[in-house]
Structure 1
Amino acid sequence: MKEKEKSILKTLVLSKSRQISSRQMHIFPILISSVLSSLFLLFLSHSSSCSSTSSSSSSSSSSSSPSSLTLPLSAAARTDPCSGRYLYVYDLPDKFNDGIVRECRAIFPWIDMCPYVANMGLGPHLTETGSVLTETGWHITNQWVLEVIFHNRIRQYECLTANSSKADAFFVPFYVGLDTGRHMWGHNTSLQERDALLVELFQFLKLRPEWLAKGGRDHFILSGRSTYDLRREDNGASQWGGKLLMLPEVKNMTVLLIESNPWGNGNEFAIPYPTNFHPSNESQVVAWQDKVRSTDRPWLFSFAGARRPGHEGSIRDQLFDQCLKSSHCKLLDCALGENDCDTPVTTMSLFQSSNFCLQPPGDTPTRRSAFDSMLAGCIPVFFHPDSAYTQYKWYLPDNYSEYSVYIPQDEVREGRVSIEEVLLRYSEKEIGYMKEKVITMIPGLIYKDPGYKLESVRDAFDVAIDGVLRRVKTIIGNQNSI
């Protein structure tokens, strides 16, 4: 495994120099102070086990998994369970969020998004689950609707406060990804029109006492799109996307995205793509885990995707060719009309029948399919560090070999590695261990139905809020110590 670790380190260095050579990741110390009748210090290390102080069900996950980490309880929190966890949500005019949803037909030029933003962003209920899915908890969820889901989840958050002076962090519910989508494909709009809501939002925020108190350092915002869609430079050659991440004010904020820039200034954090599973009670989660744990998996590995002809650097053609030549691989060609890869039953059937699922980069390094496959208990095979390892650090174990396989994409592109041979080296015992690790991670990778409370299940939203609160405490603590 040491050779693999050397390879991933080499790839990380090359990726860093190619993408953003002048920027480095920042690692913040985590320091939390509490005062009641006496003073005491608590510190949280990178391998923190403070989840034992929480009543969450993350105890079912390995203690090494980042998704099991929770905020430590101070003495104050024992008298006030929301101490250190209060959130203030800005009550913005609905043109910044719900108004965008009402104009859902304008979000994409070729897709009617109205069915997908329904049901609080979960999309239509999936009723025909067959033998592939469990009977309840399933929807047809679009991968770009996380802003709607997250906003509806935060509306049910147990520690909201209308008193901004009491808040530990401030959420800005602007559906920036959906707004940006309205101007990205062939829309004849000027840059001024494209940025109108964004400019208006920050003109508003910068006049608010909540923003002025800390310069936005305790504020966070979420986008359901990739970082690459939100860093337009007006003086650059490309006019693609929005400019949220280029605003100087945003560099003080915490930004949550489905894909971050791991080599940026340290304020972007990747959270999982939404899958199609949104349980409304604990038993639905357990039933699904039991199902994928016991399913028969006749295929060693599989791939669901399409070739990318003319896409520089893509290894899709090589994956197609290797899979077609292997008797151990099952291929789902999403370019063929008869293969409806947007139907959960189709893709989940493939992933459930496979031990390993290939997850190459798409238009960007990450893809939703990685989360769909892990939801099915399939061990992901990554070919680029930025597809997972540098991204979802609040969610995935630091030791990537516990739950995934890494094969450098350069070796695949140059024909120096057989994916089949690599995967055949894993014993049944090793596969079983890795599969079980993936299955225990499922609760922290999904988003619960916002209409219900699941006290014993901590989902991707809960992990994200904990991460934001930890980061804000660190930033504000460091600022106060200067």
Structure 2
Amino acid sequence: MKEKEKSILKTLTLCKSHQSRWQMHIFPLLISSILSSLFFLFLSYSSSCPSSSSSSSSSSSSPSSLTLSLSAAARTDPCSGRYLYVYDLPDKFNDGIVRDCHAIFPWVDMCPYVANMGLGPHLNETGSVLTGTGWHITNQWVLEVIFHNRIRQYECLTANSSQADAFFVPYYVGLDTGRNLWRHNISMQERDSLLVELIQFLKSRPEWSAKGGRDHFILSGRATWDLQRKDDGHSQWGSKLLMLPEVKNMTVLLIEANAWARNEFAIPYPTNFHPSKESQVVEWLDKVRSTNRPWLFSFAGARRPGQADSIRDQLFDQCLKSTHCKLLDCASAGNNCDIPATTMSLFQSSNFCLQPTGDTPTRRSAFDSMLAGCIPVFFTPHSAYTQYKWYLPNNYSEYSVYIPEDEIREGRVSIEEVLLKYSEEEIRNMKEKVVSLIPTLIYKDPSYKLESVRDAFDVAIDGVLVRVKSIVGD
């Protein structure tokens, strides 16, 4: 109903209310002078009601007006357009995988990492590098667990599927895929068994049939490249999730997305910082703003001698030759880059952090470095610019530096010379932009509610809801 129509209806209601009460009092013939005076005063007030073509201007103390206001307030729904329905899947699709955590990876015991709702072990002694609390040792592949626990605390959940604006399918496809990738004694049918069962389940549901799955979304804690198996050849890699026609109707969230897939959207890798209080966020932002950064640039990683396309060797060589660069060789004995304080200490001491491709175009280190307030240096647009569009500025020069990897590979560019051209003011502005992005690049502790902090989860949900509305309508 339009606002003008609401105003007219309210005016008519008020007038009818007053006129009805006037009619009740006109019939008594013997009334006291006091009541007569009140009556004529009331009649005068009633006659001042505007006609149906006028706007209402009734007194705020009028009972009718108050009733209407309360009714309007009751109709105001803060969750309107934001309701989520979460499928209650059998736990073999999610929590059962977590319980069987020893089987997730053949060489890594994932049980400590899926603990604490996916945040991993607490870091109780953070020292000067990780000042404050809220720190964990978080594995980069556990986002499905973190996200599912966050969505369980979402303020606009509904058990009424007809009320839902979007539907979340909590299948831990990344963890399920990971536990089968290196099992050579398993058939493709066995590898895909849960996925096939899930699709059959969804297609049997009226919630799916209503929109053909276009209002459904799913999350993967692995990159898109692990979920694009084209056939059932025994040597083929990964899951075929993203190749299924049913899934192509859904919105798919991943830590790395295919820039050419319309239904895939990249959301940040999980870092080690999961605040439970607003004060922890403020404290961390203050720290990274004020920390001393003696190094112009730094690089944390390992060489890739067997990969001809990798520029890791060139980055190593350039950093070693520069007096402005700090190198952390993650393949060297004694340099445990899985310890948060090790890498964060390096990133905090640097203005720029080199972020070449890893096994995929992006690597978690990009988000770790931004968490430390370090300006990322990318060498391919696919590391950030063609992904993470819900999270990072369209103008990449506001927060990062881009050097084409071909120029590095062919020895035509000195990283040091490029970065030395930035003035102190430019570096300060870029760093401040990176710091301003930090809250939306982290995932809060699912156990707590931080009203004033919008994190990566909140941005993802908003993005899903906007997309679903754009493709299915109201």
TM-score between the two structures when normalised by the length of structure 2: 0.84
AA of the residue aligned to 2:252: V
Q: How much does 1:338 deviate?
A: 0.6
TM-superposed CA distance for 1:376, in Å, is 0.1
Equivalent in 297, 321, 344 of residue 301 of structure 1: 297
The one of 355, 367, 370 equivalent to 1:371 is 367
Distance in structure 2 (CA, Å) of the matches to 1:184 and 1:78: 51
Aligned to 2:462: 466
Residue in structure 2 matched with residue 180 of structure 1 by the alignment:
177
Any idea what the Cα deviations from partners look like across 1:372-403, whole Å, max 9, x if unmatched?
00000000000000000000000000000000
Name the larger-Rg structure.
2
- After TM superposition, give the deviation of residue 38 of structure 1 in Å: 6.5
Matches within 5 A, 1:470-481: 470-477=466-473
Give the match for residue 397 of structure 1. Answer: 393
Post-superposition offset of 1:237: 8.4
Amino acid aligned to 1:232: R
Aligned residue among 429, 432, 436 for 2:432: 436
Q: Which amino acid letter does the alignment assign opposite residue 415 of structure 2?
A: I
Corresponding residue of 1:192: 189
Give, in whole Å, the separation in 2 of the partners of 1:458 and 1:197: 33
Which letter does structure 1 place at the counterpart of 2:206?
P
The reply on whether 1:146 has 2:159 as its aligned counterpart is no
Aligned residues: 408
Q: Deviations over 1:252-294 (max 9, x none)?
A: 0000000000012x00000000000000010000000000100
Task: Show structure 1 runs of 4+ deviating over 4 A.
Answer: 35-39, 75-78, 235-238
- Bigger mean CA offset, 130-139 vs 114-123: 130-139
Asked whether the 8 Å contact 1:127–1:135 carries over to 2, the reply is: no
What residue is the counterpart of 1:287 in the other structure? Answer: 283
Amino acid at match of 2:367: F
Asked which structure has the greater RCO (Cα within 8 Å, sep 6+), the reply is: 1
1:455 corresponds in structure 2 to 451
The residue number in structure 2 matching 1:325 is 321
Alignment of 1:161-172 (within 5 A): 161-172=158-169
Contact 1:76 1:83 in 2 (8 A): no
Shift of 1:76: 9.9
1:130 to 120, 127, 131: 127
Listed as ranges, the gaps of 5+ residues in structure 1 are 1-34, 40-74
CA contact (8 A) 1:302 1:354 kept: yes
Between the aligned residues of both structures, percent identity stands at: 84
Shift of 1:409: 0.2
In structure 2, runs of 5+ residues without a counterpart are: 6-71
Given that 1:355 and 1:378 are in contact with CA atoms closer than 8 Å, whether structure 2 keeps it comes out as yes
Partner of 2:255, secondary structure, is strand
The question of whether the paired residues in 1 share the 8 Å contact of 2:275 and 2:281 is answered with yes
User: Which of 330, 337, 343 matches 2:339?
Assistant: 343
After TM superposition, list the pairs within 5 Å mapping 1:40-439 onto structure 2: 79-234=76-231, 238-264=235-261, 266-439=262-435
Q: How far off is 1:312 after superposition?
A: 2.8
CA distance in 1 between partners of 2:294 and 2:128 (Å)? 16
Distance across 2 between alignment mates of 1:118 and 1:234: 35
Kept after mapping to 1: 8 A contact 2:120/2:139: yes
C-alpha deviation, 1:106, in angstroms: 0.2
Distance 1:443 1:334, change over 3 A: same
Give the structure-1-normalised TM-score: 0.83
Tell me the secondary structure at the aligned position of residue 121 of structure 2.
coil
Q: Do 2:187 and 2:234's aligned partners in 1 also have CA atoms closer than 8 Å?
A: no
Q: 1:52-109, CA deviations, whole angstroms, 9 ceiling, x for partnerless residues?
A: xxxxxxxxxxxxxxxxxxxxxxx99981100000000000000000000000000000
CA contact (8 A) 2:188 2:234 kept: no
| 1:117-137 superposed Cα distances (whole Å, 9 cap, x missing partner) | 000000000112111012200
How far the C-alpha of 1:186 sits from its partner, in A, is 3.7
CA contact (8 A) 1:169 1:472 kept: yes
